[in-house]
Structure 1
Amino acid sequence: MLHRRDSGTLANVKVRTLERTQIVRRPVTETFKFFCEPRNLQRLTPAFLNFRFLEPPPEVMHPGTAIHYQIRLYGVPVHWRTRIEIVEPPNKFVDVQEKGPYALWRHSHIFKDIGGGATEMKDRVEYALPLGPLGEVAYYLFVARSLAQIFEFRERKLEEILGT
């Protein structure tokens, strides 16, 4: 389930929120652990982004952990570095973009035990595009669609890997 809404402005850029909820038929501790292993980021990223780590990913995530990688957006290489801001096992972690294509990217991963060995996993991404009006044009031409494709791929991949 994908929800998008505008949530304000950040220094004259529109801040948007993308939310996605998925049920994973695994216990919350196992689901949280899967998402806290940075190497799984590559498994959950569609091939069209040509994801690759620029530095060996860390073994364990904790506040302050940096993850540096490259993707290709429409053939253009984009370096992206995120830093883990919050880790609250097994319920939540948050990563923020330090360097990358967005003016703002803050991704909260929230996990809730819903009983029966299942987990409700919620992504909440607050993001803003750079370049003012050009960023707005890009949003409507391809960014919104690309983000939907990425999260749809991830949902399908999770079904394949963890059985959702």
Structure 2
Amino acid sequence: MELGDSVTWEAKHLGVRQRLSSHITAFERPYFFADEMLTGAFKSFRHEHRFEALAGEATRMTDMFHYTSPLSLLGKLADYLFLKQFRPLLKRK
């Protein structure tokens, strides 16, 4: 992957099969890259990946999600019901 690449894949989330597309919008090899949703279930979605070398040959990857839910109040309810366990990794706009 590199800056400007796009990827489309299918995934099953909460029992619903979705086709998702994102675009690599930031890239600092080998430490960081970010992708942003082109099509998918959210109103907006940015996924940041940070990589840190550890002792030996280990690498730690930390993900951070920035998103805006669709459907106004229903989206906020879904955030609370389904995403609360991931709250430390998520930042809702």
The TM-score bracket by the shorter chain reads 0.7 to 0.9
> Map of 1:83-162 to 2, 5 A cutoff?
83-145=23-85
Query: For structure 1, which runs of at least 5 residues remain unmatched after alignment?
Result: 1-60, 152-164
Unpaired stretches in structure 2, ≥5 consecutive residues: none
The TM-score, its normalising length taken from structure 2, stands at 0.78
CA distance in 2, matches of 1:73, 1:121: 22
Higher relative contact order (CA 8 A, sep 6+): 1
Which one has a bigger Cα radius of gyration? 1
Q: How many residues align?
A: 88
Q: What secondary structure, in the 3-state scheme, does the structure 2 residue paired with 1:139 have?
A: helix
Alpha-carbon deviations, 1:105-156, whole Å to 9, x = none? 11111112234333232111111211110101111222445x58xx9xxxxx
1:119–1:73 distance in 2 versus 1, CA, 3 Å: closer
Structure with greater proportional strand content: 2
Q: Which has the higher helix share?
A: 1
1:69 counterpart letter in structure 2? W
Q: Which consecutive segments of 4 or more residues in structure 1 shift more than 4 A?
A: none
